[in-house]
Amino acid sequence: MIYRKARTNLSKTLSQIELDKATSDDYVKCILADPQIAAYIVQALVKEFNDMEIEDIIPCIGEATVTLSQPERLGVKISNVDNESIDEEDGKIIYDIKFPLYYNGKEKEFIINVEAQKSTKKSKLGYKLENRIAYYMGRMISAQKGTEFVNSNYDNRKSIYTIWICMDTKQKDDSIIEFGMKSNLLYGSIREIPQIDLINGALINIRTRETKNKNISKNKLIAMLEELFSRSELIDKKRTLEEEYGLKMSVELEGRMNEMCNVSDYWEEVALEEGKELGEEIGENKKLISMVIKKIKKNKSVNEISDDLEEKVDTILPIYKTALSMKPDYDVDKIYSALNLSLKQNKTT
């Protein structure tokens, strides 16, 4: 594995908390670049490898280049790699992980980029993540001129995949989204429609997971990644990854996993974010209850309230019934608590 240092503001003096966060991010990158983890990602997303076993994919993966913010804290040797992604301020991009992938010997070669992304939210990023993914797809193609092909030898381009693993997914939203170019025939008839299948992207939404009440994804890749980055004790995590997913715990991989959990307050960040989202959800629910109460006081029916508030009758009806049961004491907090208790009881029956 080749390590290089990112030339960003992280090179400047940072607080201890910021250093720990940056170091934790570096450990995540090293874990994702492990050949076994990379093979799982390749198997799921690169169609040529869908039917291959993980152990057969690993030899097809070339040496990965990993860009680290604080490599000195990981104790790794830095290499000066000739890479176009040196400084974002120059209009260039910094890849987290990049490696060549070979199919059927070296008959076909792919260029794979894997990015670890904590958030997909525009409010945090300042842009839509899918637009950044599209930019990476374009840059990975344009960067090949002069390196993979010269002049007009466009047939020598290599297929690219930019794969983004996002870790702020809600409990029911684990998913994999593919991006690419699709050809459509707008007019006429033709025996075969040319396809541009060399440009590919994917967004993998994984959930952060507590050790209790595990909700295991039905998708094997997501389930493996969620276990890899879960809050489980290391000994339990190792056992699951070995027994359920066939991973071999090398000294390096096990060490990276352990240090990732020890060095950062990442999980506290997740807990705070989840608490914030929960608080916002509670606030919105109580606001709706308050509006329903106002309509009830005007003697409006369920259907009328539903129309006025542009909410489904099924949403309004339980609030309506619970509020009426407490008439004339329309206490928003009590109504919310009663509705919440009723929902929990329904889930257990």
pLDDT in tens, 93-136: 789 999 999 998 888 899 999 999 888 888 888 899 999 999 99
Min mean pLDDT across 24-33, 140-149, 246-255, 265-274 is at 265-274
Check whether residue 147 and residue 175 sit in a common domain: yes
User: pLDDT digit string (tens) for 63-82?
Assistant: 999 988 888 878 888 876 55
Domain contains 269: no
Please indicate, yes or no, if residue 289 is contained in any of the structural domains: yes
Q: Are 43 and 50 in contact (CB under 8 A)?
A: yes
Distance, C-alpha 74 to centroid of its chain: 24
Domain's final residue, options 237, 264, 291? 264
Q: Choose among 112, 110, 117: nearest CA to 38.
A: 112
Which of 211, 241, 264 corresponds to the end of one domain? Answer: 264
Regarding whether 169 and 256 lie in a shared domain, the answer is yes
Let me know: does 71 contact 78? Beta carbons within 8 Å: yes
CA–CA dist 286, 279 (Å, integer): 11
Q: Are residues 302 and 250 in the same domain?
A: no
Distances (CA, A) of 44 to 38, 57, 201, 279, 321: 10, 11, 13, 36, 48
| Whether residue 213 is found in the same domain as residue 311 | no
DSSP annotation of 69:
S
Specify the higher pLDDT residue, 346 or 289.
289
Pair (165, 24) in one structural domain:
yes
DSSP 8-state code for residue 96: S
pTM, two decimal places: 0.72
Whether 254 is in a domain gets the answer: yes
Cis amide prior to 328 (ω within 30 degrees): yes
Q: What is the pLDDT, as a whole number, of residue 13?
A: 57
Last residue of one domain, picked from the residues 235, 264, 293: 264
306 found inside a domain: yes
Q: How far apart are CA 233 and CA 239, in angstroms?
A: 10
**One domain for residues 112 and 194:** yes
Number of domains in the chain: 2
Count the residues in the chain: 349
Same domain, 95 and 235: yes
Tell me: do 190 and 88 sit in the same domain.
yes
Band (278; pLDDT cuts 50, 70, 90)? low
Backbone angles phi, psi at 203, to 5 degrees: -120, 115
| DSSP count for the chain of H helices, then E strands | 13, 7
- Same domain, yes or no, for 234 and 334? no
In a domain, 97, yes or no: yes
Q: Which residues pair with 117 in a beta bridge?
A: 166
Examine the domain organization and report whether 72 and 143 are in the same domain.
Answer: yes
- pLDDT single digits (tens) 297-347: 889 999 999 988 888 899 999 999 998 988 888 888 888 888 876 654 444
- Residue whose token pair is 């637009």: 131
Q: Please check whether residue 193 lies inside any domain of the structure.
A: yes
Give exposure, 33-56, as e/b (b: 16+ Cβ within 10 Å).
bbbbbbbbbbbbbbeebeebebee
139 and 203 part of one domain:
yes
Same domain? For 176 and 255 the reply is: yes
The CA distance from 85 to 140, in Å, is 10
Residue 74 within any structural domain of the chain: yes
Name residue, tokens 């060490």. Answer: 255
Domain span at residue 95 reads 2-264
Give the residue, 7 or 224, on which the prediction is more confident. 224
Q: Is residue 270 assigned to a domain?
A: no
- Give yes or no for a contact between 56 and 304, defined as CB atoms under 8 angstroms apart: no
Residue 214 pLDDT > 90: no
